[in-house]
C-alpha cells in the first residue's frame, strides 16, 4: 500500500491570492476610517494664552474667545507685558494679548509653534479685537 503525498500547507489557487488582498484592503479601510474620524476637523482644546489688562478686560476677552471657539483657549491673566512676553518665550503660553491704551492692542506669539497655532491664535484675537473696536498692532 502506497501512501499519498501530504497536501502542501497554505491556501492555493484563487483563495491563496484573494485572501491576502482582502486582508490588506480591510486593514487599509480601518486605518483610513480611524484617521479621518480623529482628524477631520482639528481645533484647539484649552490652548493656554496670556492676557494683560484689567479683570473686566480679561473677562470680556475670555468670553469673546469662548464664543469664537468654545473650549479652545485657557486664558491666564498676567500683570504686565514683560511677564507675558517671558511666558511666551518660555512656552508657558502660546500667545499673549496686551490690551492697549486707546485703540491699539498687541498680540505676541512665537512662530516656532507652527502655522496652525499661529493662524488659530491670530484669527481668534483679531476677531476679539475687532469686536471691541481695537486694532491689533
pLDDT tens-digit profile of 19-65? 889 999 999 999 998 888 877 777 788 999 999 999 999 999 999 99
Q: Which CATH architecture has domain 47-136?
A: 3-Layer(aba) Sandwich (3.40)
* Unique residue bearing C-alpha cell 483657549: 73
Q: Where are the domains of the chain?
A: 47-136
Residue 8 is predicted with a pLDDT of: 67
Q: Does position 1 have pLDDT exceeding 70, yes or no?
A: no
For the chain, the distance separating the N- and C-terminal CA atoms, rounded to the nearest angstrom, is 98
The rounded distance, in Å, linking the Cα atoms of 83 and 105 is 16
Residue 83 is predicted with a pLDDT of: 96
* Unique residue bearing C-alpha cell 493662524: 119
Summary count for the chain: helices (H), strands (E): 4, 5
The rounded distance, in Å, linking the Cα atoms of 2 and 55 is 96
Query: What does the mean pLDDT of the chain come to?
Result: 87
pTM for the predicted model, two decimal places: 0.69
pLDDT tens-digit profile of 85-105? 999 999 999 999 998 776 688
Q: Which three cell numbers stand for residue 59?
A: 473677562
Amino acid at each position: 500500500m502506497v501512501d499519498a503525498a501530504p497536501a502542501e500547507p497554505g491556501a492555493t489557487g484563487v483563495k491563496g491570492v484573494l485572501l491576502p488582498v482582502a486582508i490588506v484592503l480591510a486593514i487599509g479601510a480601518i486605518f483610513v476610517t480611524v484617521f479621518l474620524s480623529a482628524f477631520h476637523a482639528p481645533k484647539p482644546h484649552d490652548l493656554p494664552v496670556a492676557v494683560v489688562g484689567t479683570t473686566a478686560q480679561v473677562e470680556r476677552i475670555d468670553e469673546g474667545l469662548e464664543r469664537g471657539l468654545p473650549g479652545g483657549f485657557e486664558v491666564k491673566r498676567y500683570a504686565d507685558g514683560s511677564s507675558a512676553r517671558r511666558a511666551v518665550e518660555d512656552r508657558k503660553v502660546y500667545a499673549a494679548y496686551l490690551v492697549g491704551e486707546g485703540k491699539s492692542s498687541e498680540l505676541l506669539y512665537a512662530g516656532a509653534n507652527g502655522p496652525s497655532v499661529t493662524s488659530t491664535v491670530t484669527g481668534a484675537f483679531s476677531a476679539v479685537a475687532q469686536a471691541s473696536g481695537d486694532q491689533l498692532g
